[in-house]
Amino acid sequence: MPEMTYREALKQGLREEMQRDERVFLMGEDIGLNWGGAFKVTKGLAEEFGVERVRDTPISENTIVGAAVGAAITGLRPVAEIMFGDLITLAMDQVCNQAAKMHYMFGGQRSVPMVIRTVFGGGKNIASHHSQSLEAWFMHTPGLKIAVPAFAYDVKGLIKTAIRDPNPVMFFEHKLVYDKKEEVPEEEYLIPFGEAKIRREGADVTVWGTFIMVHKSLEVAEELAKEGISVEVIDPRTLAPLDKKTLIESVKKTGRLVVVSEETKTGAVTAEIAAMVQEEAFDWLDAPVKRVNAPDTPVPFSPPLENFFIPDKERIARAIREIV
C-alpha cells in the first residue's frame, strides 16, 4: 500500500470522483491552471479535466457558494473551495439559509448535492482573518453535514462519500495536516459519515479531539503511558452526523473525558460534546469533563502569541492529569 500525504490522498479522492461522474466539477479561487489552489490540493487537475470542470472563480465567496447551490439543484455535483474557512462568513446566507434549508423548505422535493471544502486552524502566522476554527457555527445549522478528517486515509474516503451525498457537506481541513503521511489504498473505498475511529485504546481517560489536536493527543497518550496513565483517543471524523455511541461507550469504560479543539472556548464544539456526555453518560463519570480550547480572543499574528493561543501538548496532558 503506497504512503501518501494528506494532500495527495485528497487529490486522489477528487480525481476518482471526477473520473467516475461527469457531473462532478470543482470551483474556487486560484484552483485551476495557474496556481492549483492555495494549498496545492487541486494542482494538475485542470490540465487533466479541463477548465470547464476545474473552474477559477472571481474573488467573491458568496458568488462561489451561490453558484454552487444553483448548480447542485439543477443536477450537477459541485465541489466549491473557499480558500480560508474564515471567509465563509461572506457566504453565510448562501450556506445556512439556502443550501442547508432547501431540502426542508421544498418538502423533500429538491436536494442540494454540493460540497464546500475549506481550511481551518492556526500555526502559519497568517493572523486573525485566516486562522480561525469555526466548526461550531456550522454544527449549529440543521441541514448541513460536516466532515473533519485528520488523517490521509480518512480524507480520501470521506471526500468521496461527501461528493456522493445528496445533502450539502461542509468539508473542513486543517493547514498543518496537508503534509502528514499515511498508507492509503490506491483502489476505491468510502468511509461512512457518522462513524468515529478509536485511534488508541485506553482504560483511564477518554480524549476526544479534532484535526491537529488528534495528532497532539496521540503524542500525549504515548508520553503519559510512561507514567502509567492509559489514554483512549477518539477521532470523530464527522461532526454531523456525530457518532455519540462510540464516545459514550468509551466514557463508560474510562469514567473520564477530556475534549480538545483549536476553537475559542465559548460555544465551541467541545461544549456540545461535554454537555451531551453529561446528559447521556453522567452516571459513569468519575470526574468532571475537562475542555481544552483556545482562549476567547482573535487569533494573534505574532508567532509567540499564536503559539500560546493554540492548545499544546502540555495543556492536554495537564487536563488529563487533573482528572486521573
Residues annotated as catalytic are 130
Return the percent helix, strand and coil in the chain, to nearest 5: 40, 20, 40
Three-state secondary-structure class, residue 198: strand
- Answer yes or no: are the C-beta atoms of 158 and 238 closer than 8 Å: yes
Identify the helix (H) or strand (E) that includes residue 209. Answer: strand 205-209
Which residue, chain included where needed, has cell 500560546?
308
Residue 120 phi/psi, 5° resolution?
-120, 175
Contacts of residue 90, Cβ cutoff 8 Å, sequence gap at least 6: 60, 61, 62
DSSP 224-292: HHTTT--EEEEE-SEEETT-HHHHHHHHHHHS-EEEEEEEESTT-HHHHHHHHHHHHHGGG-SSPPEEE
DSSP, collapsed to helix, strand or coil, labels residue 171 as: strand
Report whether 81 contacts 46 (CB < 8 A). no
Cα distances (Å, whole numbers) of residue 275 to 242, 311, 312: 14, 21, 23
Q: Are 80 and 68 in contact (CB under 8 A)?
A: yes
